[in-house]
Structure 1
Amino acid sequence: MTKDHEDELTKERILNEAEILFAQKGYKSVNIREITKAANCNLAAVNYYFGSKKNLYLDVFRSRWMARAKRLQEFFKSSLGSISPNSPAKIVEALAYTFLKGPLSEEERHRHHQLIAREMAQPTEALEMIIDQMIKPFIKELSDMLLPSMSKDITKEELILNILSMFAIVLYFNFARKAVTSIINRPYDSEFKTKLIEHIINFSLYGLSGSQKEELK
């Protein structure tokens, strides 16, 4: 094994263990020694590859969270297909399908939501980074897709609020799976996911109906 390859493995191991700890405990509650112990490396390795705990945390979001977010966005676009323009119903369906039945494994999905939930609760530079580099551009794409179907009187703010509301319901049903299954009293299986997607479409279209031109479907 070459030194470069060994260095890369060490760096990846640090990132993997740091992501797990940051997701479980949040940025402020994790110290570097916990990370080095989990990654089986010394403090000098963290300083060498990342320089500081803050830089390591930001790199976790760049190389892990944002990479998964890009996979989700690519999956969403492929779910829409090549037909343009897409109807609001098709856009909502693709969005719900991406998060409920998309490319992330259960472990990836759980860690993805843990990281962003903790970051939302205790914001750091990472939040502004992902908003600027990932969330705002994606919302702009969705706005451009939905705008042709909206009333000419709709404002930019109203359209963005509609999109954020769509995200809210999709993310809730994706993140709160245990609570949902306990309340509904049925397994969170493929059949239930399909039913949820239909519900999200109908609920979102009803919310969008006040901004529609004519008929959203």
Structure 2
Amino acid sequence: MSKKDQITKERILNEAEALFAKNGYDAVSVREITTAARCNLAAVNYHFGNKQKLYLEVFRARWVPRARRVQEYFMEFLASRDTVSASAVAQALAEAFLKGPLSDDERQRQSQLMTRELIQPTEAFELLAGEVLRPFFKEMADILRPFMPEGLGNEGLALNILSMFSMVIYFNFARVVVSRITGRDYDAAFKDRLIEQIVGFSLNGLGKGKKKGA
């Protein structure tokens, strides 16, 4: 692929992601994408095949790599701790989402695309689930299992992990709402306060049966 073609392909991906995130798949036409990307209609077919394949490529080439950066940040933060515990896991997860590697623009697009897939799942959701969500969930389960109360079972463990994810995702993606309700600017100090809240609430959710070190 020539350098010119590569630049055109990247421009199409960037504009398609922005439009899909803002308006949703059904509300965006190929013509809108090519107009924003300053290329002709044939360029989409040449580089991606059709609109549906372009949509999938937005997730494969943009959403998945960003999600993996967050996951890597989580693992690196956890590895930096002196000991692994339920508290350390909760803090690592909160740090990765609230202070992690994504810029505000990346975080917004990530949130918008994911929200649309949660409301009306498409083939893209299976891509996300297979390449990011299930592996990350399993990784979390393997790390947290030793700190769960005895007899909790797989379902209880899964619900605990989902609860932790729910908090970090909400506080990360609903920043405007959180700021307006609390009256706080979403600055570094407030992020620290939210991380403290997430960790404390997560540990309380594990109950009194936590093993030593949790």
Q: TM-score, normalised by structure 1?
A: 0.94
Deviation at 1:214, TM superposition (A): 3.2
2:176 maps to amino acid: K
% identity of equivalent residues: 54
State the match for 2:108 in structure 1: 110
Matched, 1:119 2:117: yes
State the match for 1:95 in structure 2: 93
Is contact 2:149–2:206 with CA below 8 Å preserved after alignment? no
State the match for 1:214 in structure 2: 211
Matched residue count: 214
Aligned with 2:207: secondary structure? helix
Distance (Å, rounded) in 2 between the aligned partners of 1:216 and 1:167: 22
2:93 maps to amino acid: L
Aligned with 2:2: secondary structure? helix
Aligned with 2:19: secondary structure? helix
- Could you say what the CA RMSD is over the residues aligned between the two structures, in angstroms? 1.5
Task: Describe the superposition over 1:76-118 as per-residue Cα deviations: whole angstroms up to 9, x where unpaired.
Answer: 1111115686100000001001111111111111111011011
Misfit runs of 4+, over 6 Å? none
Task: Describe the superposition over 1:140-170 as per-residue Cα deviations: whole angstroms up to 9, x where unpaired.
Answer: 0000000111133121121111101100011
Distance (Å, rounded) in 2 between the aligned partners of 1:112 and 1:78: 21
1:88 maps to amino acid: A
Aligned with 2:185: secondary structure? coil
Matched, 1:54 2:52: yes
State the match for 1:187 in structure 2: 185
Unmatched tracts of structure 1, length 5 or more: none
Distance (Å, rounded) in 1 between the aligned partners of 2:177 and 2:164: 20
Distance (Å, rounded) in 1 between the aligned partners of 2:164 and 2:147: 16
Alignment match of 2:28 (pick from 10, 27, 30): 30
Unmatched tracts of structure 2, length 5 or more: none
Distance (Å, rounded) in 1 between the aligned partners of 2:143 and 2:191: 25
Distance (Å, rounded) in 2 between the aligned partners of 1:8 and 1:75: 29
Distance (Å, rounded) in 2 between the aligned partners of 1:67 and 1:136: 15
